[in-house]
Homo-oligomer: A and B are copies of this chain.
Amino acid sequence: MLLSLLLVAASNDDAACAAGRPIRWGIMGSGLISSDFVGALKALPADEAKVIAVGARSLEAAQAFATSLGVPKAHAGYEALANDPDVDVVYVGTVAQTHADCARIALAAGKPVLVEKPLAMNGEEAAELVALAKSRGLFLLEGMWTRFFPAVVKARELLEAGAIGEVVAVSADFGWPADPDGEHGRTVDPVSGGVGMDVAMYPVAHVLLAAGATPPASVVATGSTRPAAGGGRVDWSVAAGLSGFGDRPALSATVLCTLDASTPEEVVYTGKKGTLRLHRPAHTPSRLTLSIAEGREASTDETLEFALPPVPAGALPFNYPGSQGFVYEAAAVNRALREGRLEAEEWTHAESVTTQRIVDQLRSSVVRAGGGKREARGRWWDLRTWGWRARREGATE
Residues of A bordering B, CB below 8 Å: 165, 168-169, 171, 173, 175-177, 218-224, 236-244, 249-256, 258, 260-264, 268, 270-273, 275, 277, 281, 293, 296-297, 321, 365, 369
Q: Please indicate the chain B residues that have their CB under 8 angstroms from the CB of A297 in the complex.
A: 281, 321
- The residues of B that contact A249 with a CB separation of less than 8 Å are 224
Residues on the B chain within 8 Å of A264, using CB: 268, 270, 275, 277
Contacting pair B175 A270 (CB below 8 A): yes
Q: Pick the most buried of A260, A263, A277: most chain B CB atoms within 10 A of its CB.
A: A260
Looking at the complex, which one of B237, B242, B244, B281 makes contact with A243 (CB distance below 8 Å)? Answer: B237
| From B223, B241, B321, contact of A240 by CB (8 A) | B241
Determine how close the nearest CB of chain B comes to the CB of A221; give it in whole angstroms: 6
Query: A250 near B268 (CB under 8 angstroms)?
Result: no
Instruction: With CB as the reference atom, state the residue of chain B lying closest to A176.
Output: B296
Whether A256 contacts B222 by the Cβ 8 Å rule is no
B173 with A171: CB separation less than 8 A = yes
Chain B residues, Cβ within 8 Å of A271: 261
Whether B263 and A250, one on each chain, are in contact in the complex, defined by CB atoms closer than 8 angstroms, is no
Q: Please name all residues of chain B whose beta carbon is closer than 8 Å to the beta carbon of A369 when the two chains form the complex.
A: 218, 243-244
Please name the residue on chain B nearest to A219 by beta carbon: B222
Closest Cβ–Cβ distance, residue A83 to chain B (whole Å): 39
A273 to B263, CA, bound (A): 10
**In the docked arrangement, what's the CA distance between A255 and B261, Å?**
19
Which residues on B sit within 8 Å (CB–CB) of A252? 222-224, 237-239, 256, 258
**10 other A-B residue contacts (CB within 8 Å) besides A168-B260, A222-B243, A296-B321:** A169-B260, A218-B369, A220-B365, A224-B243, A224-B250, A239-B243, A239-B252, A243-B369, A254-B256, A297-B321
- Taking a contact as CB atoms under 8 Å apart, the answer to whether B239 and A254 are in contact is yes
CB distance from A392 to the nearest CB of B (A): 33
Q: What are 7 contact pairs spanning A and B, CB under 8 A?
A: A168-B260, A168-B261, A220-B220, A224-B250, A243-B369, A254-B255, A296-B321
Chain B residues with CB below 8 A from A173, complex form: 169, 171, 254, 268
Partner of A241, one of B221, B258, B261: B221
Among A239, A244, A261, A268: residue with most chain B CB under 10 A:
A239
For the complex of A and B, the 8 pairs showing the least CB-CB separation, nearest first, are A239-B241, A220-B220, A254-B254, A239-B252, A218-B222, A168-B260, A237-B252, A222-B243
Can you name the residue of chain B whose Cβ is closest to the Cβ of A165? B261
**Which residues of B are found within 8 Å of A256, using beta-carbon distances?**
169, 171, 241, 252-254
Query: A24 to nearest B CB, angstroms?
Result: 34
Q: How many Å from the CB of A207 to the closest CB on chain B?
A: 10
Determine whether the beta carbon of A296 is less than 8 Å from that of B262: yes
Complexed CA–CA distance, A146 and B224 (Å): 29
Residues of the B chain whose Cβ atoms lie less than 8 Å from the Cβ of A321 = 296-297
Q: Which residue of B lies closest to A177 (CB)?
A: B272
Contacting pair A169 B218 (CB below 8 A): no
Task: Give the distance in Å from the alpha carbon of A224 to the alpha carbon of B248 in the complex.
Answer: 10
Given A171-B171, A262-B293, A241-B220 contact (CB < 8 Å) = yes
